[in-house]
Amino acid sequence: MADRIEGVKKLFTSKSARVETNRGDAYYEKLFQKCQARIEELKTQQPINNRLEISDVLENHGIERRDFLKWASAVTGMLMLPASFTPLVADAALLMNRAPVIWLELQDCAGNSEALLRSDGPKIDEIVLDIISLEFHETLQAASGHQAEKQLEEAIEHFKDKYLLFVEGSIPMADDGIYGTIGASGETFYDHLMRVSKHAAAIVAVGSCATFGGVPAASPNPTGAVGVMDVIKGKPLINIPACPANPANMVGVIIHYILTGQVPELDSLLRPKFAFGYRIHDNCERRAHFDAGEFVEEWGDEGAKNNFCLYKVGCKGPMTFNNCSIIRYNEGVNWPVGVGRGCIGCSEPDFWDKYAYERPMADANIKAPTGGVEKTVDEFGLGLLTAAGIGIGIHAAASSLAGNKEEVGE
């Protein structure tokens, strides 16, 4: 209850999803100088552990500087900055190795790490993420057990209050958190997260599990899984939901941090507005078919062949805030709606229970407030009408049998 009241307060005081993109020349002039000063300062610092230079890595992957600059201008656009910021963004990308990052993996499928690596033909987003100074990532690093533990302690000590903490995966809270333990000492995920987050400069929850509990938190949620924001209070926290989170948005957040030293503007669910400030639906390539009432009725039908709207096979684009209809995945190659498979609302809270079904919400089984019975809203409604009808029928029958008082009296 207290949480919910807190939620109401938060919603009341939060600004709308709006991102002000035209704040005037004076504002951007000032911001430019501020970012420039910060970049200059970072340039004087040495790269931390990762000795890779992005220019070398890009060259090794056969990517020309021209492509890199094109990418930089795209990121500038994504961050809703004027084109004049492009050189700064390019510089910031080169300086990614100045930002120490500790990456924790908790209860999840490693899909976000996978998205970040994209080992098959990495594109610039993924390469740039390779450049960050990843101080600890148990899934990727060679060290394990006590060695890994030691490395983590060293990283925390060395970059105290300076490192960015990326968290992937939910936190199981049921039965004192025994459903997820890590390391040689069998520390619970909760304790592990609390310990590592204590000295983080900021926390970035990556993917739906870390943000809202995701799939592990789906009904009946046996492990009592929750997101990072449900357990950590009083720290700068950025949520980058989606399943998996788009590497472009991770890059956007880190570049924003490098450019300004601050977290980007967030919405009421702590998602960066540059990425989650608009609906999938409004930028969808199939939107015209929605308005026209042209829907795919079943997989592989004539509508599907004609790229009709996927609303009736469960697309949740109209209720989902994310930028995948614009930036897509894998460096703009494609995205779910593009391949003819509706959006499952993976960047929204409780997506597995409330969004990810292959039919419109009106036809989906929703858990009744009592818990057990799952019914569609319409089944429930028809039941309600039937109950009302039966009640009325009984009353009407009784009334007509009993006759009118006055008739009886006369």
Partner 1 sequence: MKPGYKQVKRMTTFMRLNHWVVAFSMVAAVITGLYIGHPYYQSFIADPAVGKYVMAWNRWIHFMIAIIFDVSSIVIAYLYFFSRFEKPYKKLIPNKQNIEEFGAVVINLLTLNRKKDFDSTHADSFNTVFFLLFHLMLAWMLLTGLQLYVHGLASGESSIGAWWPWMLHVATDWTIPVSNMLIGSASPTPSIMDVRISHHITMWFILAWIVFHIYYQVWRTIFWKEGDIGIVVSGTKYVKEEA
Residues in 335-354 at the binding interface with partner 1, rule: CB under 8 A: 345, 348-351, 353-354
CA distance 211 to 230: 9
Which residues does 123 contact at the CB level (< 8 Å), separation at least 6?
330, 331
Nearest to 140 by CA among 113, 171, 168, 180: 113
261 three-class SS? coil
Name the one range near partner 1 by CB under 8 A: 153-161, 178-186, 250-258, 282-290. 282-290
Q: For 19, phi and psi rounded to 5 degrees?
A: -110, 120
The answer to whether residue 230 forms part of the interface with partner 1 (CB under 8 A) is yes
The answer to whether residue 244 forms part of the interface with partner 1 (CB under 8 A) is no
Name the one range near partner 1 by CB under 8 A: 2-10, 34-42, 98-106, 113-121. 2-10
Name the one range near partner 1 by CB under 8 A: 18-26, 56-64, 66-74, 254-262. 18-26
Count the neighbouring beta carbons within 10 Å of the beta carbon of residue 250. Answer: 26
Q: Cβ 212 to partner 1, closest distance in Å? A: 5
| 100-105 vs 133-137, strand pairing mode | parallel
The answer to whether residue 279 forms part of the interface with partner 1 (CB under 8 A) is yes
The answer to whether residue 242 forms part of the interface with partner 1 (CB under 8 A) is no
The answer to whether residue 367 forms part of the interface with partner 1 (CB under 8 A) is yes
Question: Taking CB under 8 A as the criterion, which residues in 172-191 touch partner 1?
Answer: none
Name the one range near partner 1 by CB under 8 A: 99-107, 121-129, 186-194, 401-409. 401-409
The answer to whether residue 47 forms part of the interface with partner 1 (CB under 8 A) is no
Identity of the residue, 295 or 329, whose beta carbon is nearer to partner 1 in the bound complex: 295
Name the one range near partner 1 by CB under 8 A: 47-55, 65-73, 116-124, 220-228. 220-228
The answer to whether residue 265 forms part of the interface with partner 1 (CB under 8 A) is no
Element (H, E) at 287: helix 287-292
The answer to whether residue 290 forms part of the interface with partner 1 (CB under 8 A) is yes
Question: Taking CB under 8 A as the criterion, which residues in 108-147 touch partner 1?
Answer: none
Kindly give the interhelix angle for 247-260 and 86-94, rounded to the nearest 10 degrees.
100
CA distance 316 to 246: 18
| 237-240 vs 202-206, strand pairing mode | parallel
Question: Taking CB under 8 A as the criterion, which residues in 189-218 touch partner 1?
Answer: 212-213, 217
Q: How many residues bind partner 1 (CB under 8 A)?
A: 84
Q: For 270, phi and psi rounded to 5 degrees?
A: 65, 25
The answer to whether residue 11 forms part of the interface with partner 1 (CB under 8 A) is yes
Question: Taking CB under 8 A as the criterion, which residues in 371-390 touch partner 1?
Answer: 371, 377-378, 380-382, 384-385, 387-389
Q: Which of 169, 254, 288, 315 binds partner 1 (CB under 8 A)?
A: 288
Identity of the residue, 186 or 300, whose beta carbon is nearer to partner 1 in the bound complex: 300
- Which amino acid belongs to residue 360? P
- Which amino acid belongs to residue 399? S
DSSP 170: B
x/- contact string, 315-334, with partner 1 (CB under 8 A)?
Answer: -x-xx-x-------------
Tokens of 104: 């924790």
Nearest to 125 by CA among 248, 224, 212, 39: 248
Which residues does 74 contact at the CB level (< 8 Å), separation at least 6?
327
Identity of the residue, 71 or 189, whose beta carbon is nearer to partner 1 in the bound complex: 189
Measured between alpha carbons, how far apart are the two ends of the chain, in Å? 60
Identity of the residue, 103 or 190, whose beta carbon is nearer to partner 1 in the bound complex: 190
The answer to whether residue 271 forms part of the interface with partner 1 (CB under 8 A) is no
Nearest to 226 by CA among 175, 181, 190, 267: 190
The answer to whether residue 98 forms part of the interface with partner 1 (CB under 8 A) is no
Between the CA atoms of 54, 55, 61 and 67, what dihedral angle is there, to the nearest 10 degrees?
110
351 three-class SS? helix
Identity of the residue, 2 or 26, whose beta carbon is nearer to partner 1 in the bound complex: 2
Q: For 331, phi and psi rounded to 5 degrees?
A: 55, 45
Q: Which of 110, 187, 363, 365 binds partner 1 (CB under 8 A)?
A: 363
Q: Which of 12, 25, 83, 233 binds partner 1 (CB under 8 A)?
A: 12
Distance of CA 43 to the CA centre of its chain: 31
Q: Cβ 297 to partner 1, closest distance in Å? A: 7
The answer to whether residue 44 forms part of the interface with partner 1 (CB under 8 A) is no
